[in-house]
A and B are shown apart, each in its own frame.
Chain A
Amino acid sequence: MTEAQPAGPQLPTGELRLAVGRRGGRGVATSQYYQGALRVIRPHYLDASGQVAYTIVNPGGGYLGGDVYDVDIQVEEQARLLLTTQSATKIYRTPGAPAVQHTRIRLGPGASLEYLPDQIIAYRDATYRQQTVVELAADSSLVMCDVVTPGWSPDGGLFRYEEVRLRNEIHRDGRLLALDNLLIRPGDPASPLSGMLFLEDYSHLGSMLVVDPRVDDGLVQELRDLLAPLDPGGQLGLSLLNGPGFALRALSRSTGALNKTLFAAVDLLRHRWYRQQPLNLRKY
């Protein structure tokens, strides 16, 4: 926990800035800075496509009350970045002040980002606010996923956290394309989580946002057909955004089942657009 700080600007708990450009047909970091409780481990290339893969690590192992994480990702012209995390984002008790993560993503002309972090696990009495702002060029490509779990508490009870808020703002070519604002407050009696408008008797929520000039209604239909067998309970929705992109939401009872659905969609897009093989993140 933090002690009383001397006057003056305070560094974020963890800070990561990464810019990726295209050099010799491959994505490489053109600048990189991190401090505190965030860093990236050495990049790798999963295939011969030139897409570079970076993994974000939180050496502290979890977020605490008052923690501020600052992430700035830039993908330059024609470069392709796959960004993932080493493990789940864990939010411990946050008495006093929430844990906050601000992420800013800028995608240059023809650039692409697949941002596939592990699931979020909020512990008992945790409040977490994640705010992500993405700015895309008209011809850049974004695939972004989130999985929110029911959290963790010592007695095994679900949804013992105070609040999880995930707010994604997507700007394309200078125009606000989508505002995806998810707010889960398990203790709010006016909109109970087990209600039919929230989670019913499901426990896990998956979300995906895709913006790419190649998205159209035909692709949305194709994805619905592809994903339907993975969604026996009929708890998956897909819809075209107000521009070339789509939003996907799914409810489930496990992170594994949701990842299967989300990665099926990711893999279709990777193959369709870049002739890449299904993703295998080989986490260990």
Chain B
Amino acid sequence: MQNTRTEPREAPAHRPPSYWLPLLQLADSALPTGAFSHSFGLETFLERGLVRDEETFRIWLSHFIHTQLTHSDGLAIRLALEAGSAAELRELDALLTAQALPRQVREAGVKMGARMLQIASAILDSAEVEQYREDVAAGDCSGHPALAFALAGRSLQVPLPELVSTYLFSTATSLTQNAIRGIPIGQDAGQRVLRRIHPDIAAATVRIAGLDRSDFGATAPGLEIAQMRHERQRARMFMS
């Protein structure tokens, strides 16, 4: 190699983007948002024996990403980056709550939203995150992790594809950890599923960029029914 220098250089190309490390932190699967206690209906499919191994879980996860996750959390993140006013952000919060018809999904959003806001507030200096926290504390907003994450990303100036795909992958990781415990499958099997889900995450990220507002909240009926029936399931490991 030519021109190798012994001391570190302060060249911009060698530094990660300023959003990089905060984004990694917010997307970490150990982030204490309570995601480990929410299966978003997966547990009902476990109970019915429809999700029972690595392959059936991979199929479930792929469909979950392309239906509910794309049209609620994913689209919400994009719309939050595009929002021009605080009123639009409050409207997004209301939409996120209203589109979650199954009660446990709605309650998961509120719980995880509060945690995500607390964490984002602790690691960032963002006026928008603080405003959302105040709106939730005042009861003007319900709170939702996707919107808290989006506002953090907005402050950090994370580009849309990076922000959306990070959120989707982080959710996929949490659900995979839950599947590893719930099915159960091995840790290596979980990692194989996550690797195979990369193309789904990439495709969903592209699709989210092209969705229309009228697509918001579109979900899959079988998934919704499972999420509703989870309320009555006996011997649950998960809160949703």
Contact = CB atoms under 8 A, between A and B. Distances in A.
B222 A197 contact: yes
Given A239-B103, A242-B97, A190 B216 contact: no
Interface stretch (B31-39, B129-137, B150-158, B224-232): B224-232
B228 A242 contact: no
Contact of B222 (A177, A199, A240): A199
Interface residues of B, number: 45
A279 interface: no
B63 interface: yes
Nearest to B94: A176
A258 to B, nearest CB: 12
A125 to B, nearest CB: 21
Contact of B225 (A131, A190, A249): A249
Contact of A179 (B60, B204, B216): B216
A179 B217 contact: yes
A237 B225 contact: yes
Give the interface centre of A165, A205, A237 by most chain B CB atoms within 10 Å: A237
Contacts of B99: 178-181
Contacts of B115: none
A178 B67 CA distance: 18
A71 to B, nearest CB: 18
A183 B211 CA distance: 13
Interface residues of A, number: 38
Given A190-B66, A249-B228, A183 B215 contact: yes
Contacts of A167: 214
B209 interface: no
A198 interface: yes
A196 B45 contact: yes
Interface string A179-207: 11111000000111001111110000101
A211 interface: no
B101 interface: yes
Contact of B221 (A175, A178, A192, A251): A251
Give the interface centre of A182, A183, A197, A207 by most chain B CB atoms within 10 Å: A197
- Chain A at the B interface: SS class: strand
Interface in A131-162: 131
A283 B156 CA distance: 61
A197 B67 contact: yes
Interface string A241-259: 1100001011100000000
- Chain B at the A interface: SS class: helix
Interface in B96-133: 97-99, 101-104, 106
Interface string B200-218: 1001100100000011111
Contact of A176 (B95, B204, B207, B226): B95
B103 A240 contact: yes
A241 B103 CA distance: 7
Given A197-B63, A198-B63, A237-B225, A191 B220 contact: yes
Given A167-B214, A197-B60, A197-B63, A239 B221 contact: no
A238 interface: yes
B225 A251 contact: yes
B95 A179 contact: yes
A176 B222 CA distance: 24
B225 A195 contact: no
Contacts of B215: 181, 183
Contacts of A197: 60, 63-64, 67, 220, 222-223, 226
B219 interface: yes
A175 B98 CA distance: 10
Contacts of B51: 196
A38 B117 CA distance: 50
B228 A177 contact: no
Top 5 A-B pairs, shortest CB-CB distance: A237-B228, A237-B225, A183-B218, A190-B66, A181-B217
16 contacts: A165-B218, A179-B98, A179-B217, A180-B101, A182-B219, A190-B207, A191-B63, A197-B223, A198-B223, A200-B222, A237-B102, A239-B227, A242-B97, A249-B101, A249-B224, A251-B225
Given A249-B101, A251-B221, 20 more contacts: A176-B98, A178-B99, A179-B216, A181-B71, A183-B218, A190-B207, A191-B220, A195-B59, A195-B63, A195-B222, A196-B59, A196-B60, A224-B232, A235-B222, A236-B225, A237-B228, A239-B102, A239-B104, A240-B103, A242-B98
